[in-house]
Structure 1
Amino acid sequence: MSLVLDPTAQDLLFREARTANTFTDEPVTDEQMQAIYDLVKYAPTAFNQQPLRVLLVRSPEARERLLTHMSEGNRPKTAAAPLVAVLAVDNEFHEELPTQYPHFPQAKDVIFGERPVRERSAALNGALQVGYFIIGVRAAGLAAGPMTGFDAEGINKDFFTDGDHSVLAVVNIGRPGENAWRPRHPRLSYDEVVTTV
């Protein structure tokens, strides 16, 4: 019993949380999404960078455009979800680094001076933020269906025309529907993963 988080919260966020494949038609509100973001914006990142950008796909027209870029198996789930979030990173995130840190000029001009360096940093730190985003969706009592089966280049060109954004994941969000869960697959044990030196 070395965890501080109570067992109910542990189950909600981790043990009983699953990737949802079906959803009810109950809408996901802007207020819910605001609460989720306000909770997860504190995800740990290098230099406190915040490269993640969240595009909420609400209009039927935008949903149809997104569906053309999804893999065949992911199209029905994405079409039926109450809300779909496209999670991308802004590769020019360094323009918004916090300026109150003493190392800020070095971080902005030296560490993040080259675009390939920024893209690698944005991808890693954005992935951390994606993980927190999914936990935030669960904390709101909703289910998330994160997917990477899509045409990333197509989504980038269609939804992020500035050329500075790169999609990481597409997440269906809502209340789980009928037969939402597939059987739980086994996970590696502690001894298979953790080594002490």
Structure 2
Amino acid sequence: MTLQLDPAAQNLLFREARTANAFTDEPVTEEQVQDVYDLVKYAPTAYNQQPLRIVLVRSPEARERLVRHMNEGNRAKTAAAPLVAVLAADNEFHEELPAQFPAFPQAKEVLFGERPAREASAGFNAALQVGYFILGVRAAGLAAGPMTGYDADAVDKEFFPDGDHSVLAVVNIGKPGENAWRERGPRLAYDEVVTTV
């Protein structure tokens, strides 16, 4: 093997990991979420912009507000998941750039220029962070059920009324329950994806 990650970790994070559609009622603790974030905060982003923002939907009232904006097929599982995270890109991320940002003067036009350029940058880089977030959930021994089946405009207005955030995914999180998995779909082979030039 050329991989340094041991086979058990490879299976946990990749080969045996699946999108969960049902969960036990075991709660997901604040400590677990903090541990996940302490891993995933190291995701690569252009100029270290870190545009991902996470809203943990814990209260019954907030859950109800979210569920009504989910597509019909996602409502029951979102209502029943131990924890739901709304993951969004902060389109005004430049207001929270880390102290080391002055080391990247060439980025000012993109990051401090017109809003459409910032939105494109925020969306791409936050999407990278979403992928890391899902791996972090798996690393904690939990299952993730990421979804894009919702009314994005309504979720933005409901949870980000400032108009400065764009929802990217809603992720159900918890221990997988009975019949949590659908049959795994096929994956493309290496030769179907990779070209050498």
Please indicate the TM-score interval, normalised by the length of the shorter structure: over 0.9
Matches within 5 A, 1:1-197: 1-108=1-108, 110-112=109-111, 113-197=113-197
Shift of 1:96: 1.8
Shift of 1:98: 2.4
CA offset digits 1:43-100 (Å, max 9, x no partner): 0110011000000000000000001100000001101100000000110001122232
CA offset digits 1:115-147 (Å, max 9, x no partner): 000000001000000000000000000000000
**TM-score with structure 1 setting the length:** 0.97
Aligned residues: 196
Kept in 2: contact 1:98–1:104 (CA 8 A):
no
Distance 2:89 2:196 in 1: 34
Matched letter for residue 48 of structure 1: N
Matched letter for residue 181 of structure 1: W
The percentage of counterpart residues that share the same residue type is 80
Matched letter for residue 142 of structure 2: L
RMSD of aligned C-alpha atoms? Answer: 1.0
Gaps of 5+ in 1: none
Gaps of 5+ in 2: none
**TM-score with structure 2 setting the length:** 0.97
Q: List, as ranges, runs of 4+ consecutive aligned residues in structure 1 with deviation greater than 6 Å.
A: none
What SS is found at the alignment partner of 1:5? coil
Shift of 1:190: 0.1
Shift of 1:111: 1.8
Matched letter for residue 195 of structure 1: T
Distance 2:24 2:190 in 1: 36
